[in-house]
Structure 1
Amino acid sequence: MTAGTAVAVIAGGLLTGCGPSGAPVAEVSSEAAPAQPDPRGMLAARVAVAKDQRYIAAYTLTAQGKSPRSILVSIATDRTWRVDVQGGALGGTADVAIASRPEGQYQCPINPSSGCVKVAAAGKKLPPAVDPRVQYVFVAWLDVLLDRQIPLSVAPADPLAGTSAPCFAVEPGVTAVQPPIDPGVFCYNDSGILTAARLPFGQLTLTGDVIAAPSTISLPGPVVDGAPLATTAPPPASPKPSGSQVPRSVSPSPSKSVA
């Protein structure tokens, strides 16, 4: 055996190695295990695309015990927006639009319109008594889903009925009187369009084609002074006594006002 051959044999033995019994030891791979996909990062990537989208899209809102309702979402190129909610006020008996412009947010009764009432500053939450909440899915909650400083639990979810887009279950990670986002399942397609969402107030499902956005949002009526319509139904009218007058010792109860 030549010196060169001996060196090669020794080197091979060192690379292969032997266990205590003299059996060869398997080589250890230096390749790192593939990284597991991050559900929150996957959702954030789609939400980032959604935030850049400008469009008009129609949805159906279904909730247990209620008839399906139509939702029309308009996100204009100048970032103003409007969400029309069928049955969004007076316990589902009145249609309203929630619109946001730089000067503020407005509630506008539609069909017919009786004027728009300013209900909040731009970018702020609406008072709970007049808040249909569905508009947050398309505007404010996008920032929540993108903010890594907000503790959220995100996991892949089975596709909701009516969509084949990837879906993600989201749960707020903090206990508060007003969490930054409602728990639910959100589904976005590759274009960043919400195709479905299941939330405490019902399930949204995209219906029809998404069309081009307007340059800006116009209010459906003039701005007026007055009280906005509440989401709750007005109290029923007190029944009139029949057959006899109300005893003098009993005063009729005052009727409740609608906020």
Structure 2
Amino acid sequence: MKNKIFYIIEGENIAYSIVRNLLHQGHNVYYISSNQSNINMILSLKAYYSNLDGILHDPTEISFLESLDMAPNRVGGVISLSGDDALNFVVSWLIKSLYEDIRVISLVNYPENEKLFLTNHIETVSVTNWIEKLIEASIEYQTNLSFFNPYADKLAIIEVKIKKQDYAANKKLKDLHMPENSIVSMLIREDGIFVPQGNTEILPGDKLVIFSLKDKVPEVKLKILKG
């Protein structure tokens, strides 16, 4: 693909990584966010790449979207990476409505919402699907996930959203003492996606993605919710 324009909408850590990769490939990137701190973080890359601009604006405003350069021969795509599926859908739907020839890709944080995006012809990326594909590839090619390979047919991926009354709320990951053969692999928070460490504090509203053996699922959920 020759150099194109990409619009990246919202997002923090994952947006930073994608913006950096697109810039490294020589593309021109516009990062759009209503959050000044997000803009500042992404624009730190401008010290290394001149083909980056940040725009502080509400990405759901129609008149603003209409003002963007969306020539199909110049734009590689619009990628919406907010932690809020509703915002991602609104932005993606508006772009598709205004510019039917533009490729639109959206992060879907909750798999149950994916059908809504797909029925509106919006390409999706799901964190859960990424993990599943990585595991499937590792099992198929016998790479380095040796812990899971013997248990491929028994593996489960659990998603648990933490409520303030849950046992795990406001506790450090290391203090949960997760059941054997279960791992908290990812923490999804409003401001980004993280690989949690032992001292990571789990907050109400966080979503935990957990690898576990299927027969351990009830025990894992009980530990997270009840202790």
TM-score (norm 1): 0.22
TM-score (norm 2): 0.25
Q: Indicate the structure (1 or 2) with the bigger Cα radius of gyration.
A: 1
Higher helix content, 1 or 2: 2
Higher normalized contact order (CA 8 Å, seq sep 6+, divided by chain length): 1
